[in-house]
Amino acid sequence: MIVHDFSNEKSILNQFILEMRDVAIQKDSMRFRKNIERIGEILCYEMSKTLHYKTELVTTPLGEKEMKVPETDVVVCSILRAALPFHHGILNFLDKAENAFISAYRHHPNGNADFEVIVNYLASPSIENKTLILTDPMLATGKTLENVLKAFKTHGTPKQIHILSIIGSKTGIEYIKEIFPENTHLWIAAVDDQLNNHSYIVPGLGDAGDLAFGEKL
């Protein structure tokens, strides 16, 4: 896996992540969602530099000009629900992309910290020989992405996979390195060192879905 880690770079990304982490600022759910969208745009821009391009001729009022534009067939898949603003940010740049959505949640069968990831909904076009972009704002253990990859087995084999995340743990990143193809790209804005006893990222930012859309039962 090729990891593009922007943690230590001087970038406006840091301001948006700071606001998402801050216990006072993150209470503004509209601002929280907007920051997710902004980070999606920035990571998508960086990722776009690696796509395949073709040359097209454009006619202006004063002449003609050759331009290089993406030629890649792209499917953007977001893991519900925290990734919805992330998805929107990517579509702001890749407006011709196809779309997919998948649900994944932690199930605690014994009522303790142990869990399994359940995937029970996937709506997607074929990904055969296309570029698949998976968006998962919080990459904690990596088990969600593992199960998402398994769910896509019936939808074809992509020629390229890109994973976009906002915050990840070192443990989760190392885990998905063993699961995904070697030429997979991970684009991540920040990496934290630890997971707590409940497998949440520390210091992280809390539950991104709840902060974006409200608490669930």
Instruction: Look up residue 16 and give its two tokens.
Output: 């948006």
CA 145 – CA 113 distance, rounded (Å)? 19
pLDDT tens, 32-66? 999 999 999 999 999 999 999 999 999 999 999 99
CA 89 – CA 133 distance, rounded (Å)? 13
- What pLDDT does 108 receive? 63
Mean pLDDT (whole number) for 124-131: 96
- What pLDDT does 107 receive? 62
CA 87 – CA 78 distance, rounded (Å)? 6
- What pLDDT does 118 receive? 78
Q: What is the chain's alpha carbon radius of gyration, rounded to the nearest angstrom?
A: 18
The ranges assigned to domains in the chain are 2-49+74-213
Reference 90, options 77, 101, 71, 106; nearest CA is 77
pLDDT tens, 168-217? 999 999 999 999 999 999 999 999 999 998 888 999 999 999 999 998 87
| CATH 3.30.70.520 for domain 2-49+74-213 | no
The phi and psi torsions of 184 (rounded to 5 degrees) equal -70, 140
- What pLDDT does 111 receive? 67
pLDDT tens, 64-76? 999 999 988 999 9
Half-sphere exposure of 81 (CA within 13 A, CB side): 9
Which pTM value belongs to this model?
0.92
CA 127 – CA 122 distance, rounded (Å)? 13
pLDDT tens, 137-172? 999 999 999 999 999 999 999 999 999 999 999 999
pLDDT tens, 70-124? 988 999 999 988 899 999 999 999 999 999 999 887 666 776 667 777 788 899 9
